[in-house]
Amino acid sequence: MGLPGLLCLAVLAASSFSKAQEEEITPVVSIAYKVLEVFPKGRRVLITCHAPQAPPPITYSLCGTKNIEVAKKVVKTHEPASFNLNITLKSSPDLLTYFCRAATTSGAHVDSARLQMYWELWSKPVSELRANFTLRDRGSGPRVEISCQVSSGSPPITYSLVGKDGQVHLQQRPRHGQPANFSILPSQTSDWFQCQAANSVNVQHSALTLVPPGELPKTPTIVLAGSLASIAAVTSGMLGWTTWARS
């Protein structure tokens, strides 16, 4: 075989190797954002999509909740695609979730990670933390059930059951808008507990509540309030019930 034939084979081999490499590489799409303007109830945001490993031309689609396409742009270079959006405050953080989709001429496409912008754009402190301490006996023994919830605050919100000494006994991060529910066994001595709610802005505590010791009535449900007067009334009622039961 002559030299031209060898050169032709070398070019074909290199071309095949290059195509094989392209098929093996899975493009990665990144998504980023920048706040351009701040309004009382909204933000103007620049969202950038970039798939540097994908061969141009690349069709970038910006998609929102339920994969709904918000905007589309074709880029004929390796430069990123940028989208300007006017975003208003929504009641649900799911409505502020976006992702990028990059599609090539071959028909293949890849999606970026989800971008959740709720708490980044509207950082609201947790406020009006409500805590309910309830003594129950459901047949398997007495337990203290605690419900903690704030009226407002940017997610994610972490709820903790904290002792008087500051020790965290239990912790939950429920879905946005849902309360945290804890359950503990009463101890042999009285203990003070409180709920704690925390997000990226602040931390809030409920009033300390005294959880009395001892056995509980099997039928009544006793709700513990945070004041000393209510605690004294509950304790007195329990002692009276115990005296009555023994007599």
Residues 166 and 88 in one domain: no
* pLDDT given for residue 243 in this prediction: 38
Rounded to 5 degrees, φ, ψ at 142 are -70, 145
Structure tokens at 153: 């605050």
Residues 146 and 240 in one domain: yes
Residues 73 and 31 in one domain: yes
Residues 150 and 106 in one domain: no
Residues 67 and 156 in one domain: no
| Contact in structure between 102 and 54 (CB atoms under 8 Å) | yes
Q: What is the mean pLDDT of residues 15-19?
A: 42
Residues 114 and 139 in one domain: no
Q: Is the bond preceding residue 40 a cis peptide, omega within 30 degrees?
A: no
* pLDDT given for residue 66 in this prediction: 83
How many domains does the structure of the chain reveal?
2
Q: For residue 241, is pLDDT > 60?
A: no
Q: For residue 81, is pLDDT > 60?
A: yes
Residues 192 and 213 in one domain: yes
* pLDDT given for residue 95 in this prediction: 62
CATH number at residue 228: 2.60.40.10
H-run or E-run covering 11: helix 3-24
Residues 143 and 187 in one domain: yes
Q: For residue 137, is pLDDT > 50?
A: yes
* pLDDT given for residue 90 in this prediction: 62
Residues 157 and 221 in one domain: yes
Of 121, 148, 176, the residue that ends a domain is 121
* Identity of the amino acid at 67: N
Q: What is the mean pLDDT of residues 159-177?
A: 93
Q: For residue 240, is pLDDT > 60?
A: no
Of 80, 98, 121, the residue that ends a domain is 121
pTM of the model: 0.46
Q: For residue 6, is pLDDT > 70?
A: no
Q: Say if strands 130-137 and 158-163 run parallel, antiparallel, or are unpaired.
A: unpaired
Q: Is residue 9 part of a domain?
A: no
Residues 190 and 115 in one domain: no
How many other CB atoms are there within 10 angstroms of residue 213's CB atom? 12
* pLDDT given for residue 213 in this prediction: 66
Q: Is residue 1 part of a domain?
A: no
Q: What is the mean pLDDT of residues 207-223?
A: 61
Residues 115 and 186 in one domain: no
Q: Is residue 19 part of a domain?
A: no
* pLDDT given for residue 1 in this prediction: 52
Of 69, 91, 121, the residue that ends a domain is 121
Which structural domain, as residue segments, surrounds residue 61?
27-121
